Amino acid sequence: MTWTRRRFLTATGAAAVAARRTPAWALAAKTITVSHSVSTFVYGQHLVAKEKKFFEDEGLAAPSFIVPGGGAKVAQALAAGQAMFALGDSNHPLKITEKGKDALMLFATDTRCSYANVVVRKELFDKGVKSVETLGDPKLVGRKALVAATAIGSGTHVYGVYVLKGLKAPDGRPVNEHVEWVSGGASTTMLGGLKAGKFDAIMAVPEWQWAAEEEGFGKAVYDVQDEKAWTRVFGGPIPVTVGYALRETIEKSPDLAQAYVNACYRAQQWIHRAKDEEVVELLHRTYMDTFSREIVLRSVKYYKTIFDWDFMIDEKSYENGMKVWVPLAADRPVPYAKAVEMAFVKKARAKFKS
């Protein structure tokens, strides 16, 4: 074939058009390591970003998630450099900072704590224990109420203690002074203990609350979906689940941090706009097939009521959280300016205006 000037320009022009159509990730994808504790919808931003290829659109390759089965393990992985970015409880970056490595919150995905629900034994509910306040009445309970968190020091314990400290028993003292906290473990032992009367109340994730009520052995006396009840105790929104990274990661690779936040923000906006069934269709089989489709759908509907669509962490909500985190989760307050970096979210919001 003879290469004329016209043929050369036509070919190179076509190649340029093809290059423009080629996703950034295919040209020079940069690998990042990303972690969350369990692949359920509370961490749906990561899952959607991967399935909708938002990471790739931002020039990132996230081959697989690091899923160690507990938020504390996620924080350990990030502090050790095994993960660059993590999604988890907001007290975890604070703990990392306390131990000498600055970690920063990059965005918040929700405004209320989904595991601050208090569920009492149905037998006690029928006797008149129909509120957290009456849980502090030994005459109704028959003893010092035994309240189970998954583990002492866990997120369920931290938020549970705050709820019980913030509400008064009939004698005017905090309900927390009238109860004994115990470790309840995971789903089987928490629900089994409540059903058998071993526990008088449990701190419950939504799925446990639904199971206890539907099977008839428990009733919720504090439900975080009740906005008035939440605000009465916590004062307003709290950044409970956050994206976070080490300060050194952000300073060394601000382009990767921006791309990560962009992808997660796009995922949050997709969740906001998508139909519930569409979200289930995208995620159920790949990540949540141990649950029925109906449970996953219910979970999607639930979390959509508490998700933070703008991803921002302001000083007021951070201070609301600090009252909960100190001293049970963190030894001392960490100033907002040292703990939070909103520059990446602001850029993402400007880039992807909905």
Most confident of 88-97, 143-152, 267-276: 267-276
CA 287, CA 269: separation in Å to the nearest integer?
20
- Residue 15: which pLDDT band, with cuts at 50, 70 and 90? very low
Mean pLDDT of 254-259: 98
- Residue 23: the pLDDT is 52
pLDDT tens digits, one per residue of 149-188: 988 888 899 999 999 999 999 999 999 999 999 999 888 8
- Residue 27: the pLDDT is 56
Share of the chain above pLDDT 70, in %: 92
Question: What is the overall mean pLDDT for the chain?
Answer: 91
CB 345 within 8 A of CB 106: yes
CA 234, CA 94: separation in Å to the nearest integer?
19
- Residue 11: the pLDDT is 47
Q: How many CB atoms lie within 10 A of CB 294?
A: 9
Q: How many CB atoms lie within 10 A of CB 275?
A: 9
CA 313, CA 296: separation in Å to the nearest integer?
27
**C-alpha angle with apex 131: 130 to 136, nearest 5 degrees?**
110
- Can 25-111+238-351 and 117-234 be said to share one CATH topology? yes
Q: How many CB atoms lie within 10 A of CB 214?
A: 9
Residue of 226, 229, 241 lying closest to 321 (CA atoms) = 241
Buried b (16+ CB within 10 A) or exposed e, 92-117: bbbbbbeeeeebbbbbbbbbbbbbbb
Radius of gyration of the chain from its Cα atoms, rounded to whole angstroms:
23
Say if residue 354's pLDDT is above 60.
no
- Residue 5: the pLDDT is 46
Say if residue 99's pLDDT is above 80.
yes
CA 334, CA 140: separation in Å to the nearest integer?
41
pLDDT tens digits, one per residue of 317-353: 999 999 999 988 889 999 999 999 999 999 999 999 8
The CATH architecture of the domain made up of 25-111+238-351 is 3-Layer(aba) Sandwich (3.40)
More confident residue, 134 or 10: 134
- Residue 72: the pLDDT is 85
Say if residue 94's pLDDT is above 90.
yes
* CA 160 vs CA 148, 250, 331: distances in Å: 9, 33, 18
Mean pLDDT of 20-39: 75
* Tokens coding 29: 């994808």
So where are the chain's domains? Answer: 25-111+238-351, 117-234
Residue written as tokens 């020091």? 153
Residue written as tokens 């309840």? 184
Mean pLDDT of 131-157: 93
Share of the chain above pLDDT 90, in %: 81
Of the candidate CATH numbers 3.40.190.10, 3.50.50.60, 3.40.50.2300, 3.30.420.40, the domain formed by 117-234 belongs to: 3.40.190.10
Would you put residue 157 in left (φ > 0), alpha (ψ -120 to 50) or beta?
alpha
> Which amino acid does the sequence have at 145?
A
- Residue 206: which pLDDT band, with cuts at 50, 70 and 90? very high
Which of the 8 DSSP states describes residue 352?
T
What distance lies between CA 279 and its chain's CA centroid?
Answer: 17
Q: Where are any strands of DSSP class E within the chain? A: 30-31, 34-35, 60-61, 65-66, 85-89, 103-108, 117-121, 145-149, 179-183, 201-204, 218-222, 241-246
Say if residue 2's pLDDT is above 50.
no
Sign of CA dihedral 95, 43, 270, 257: positive
- Residue 29: the pLDDT is 86
Say if residue 19's pLDDT is above 50.
no
pLDDT tens digits, one per residue of 292-318: 899 999 999 999 999 999 999 999 999
- Residue 153: the pLDDT is 80
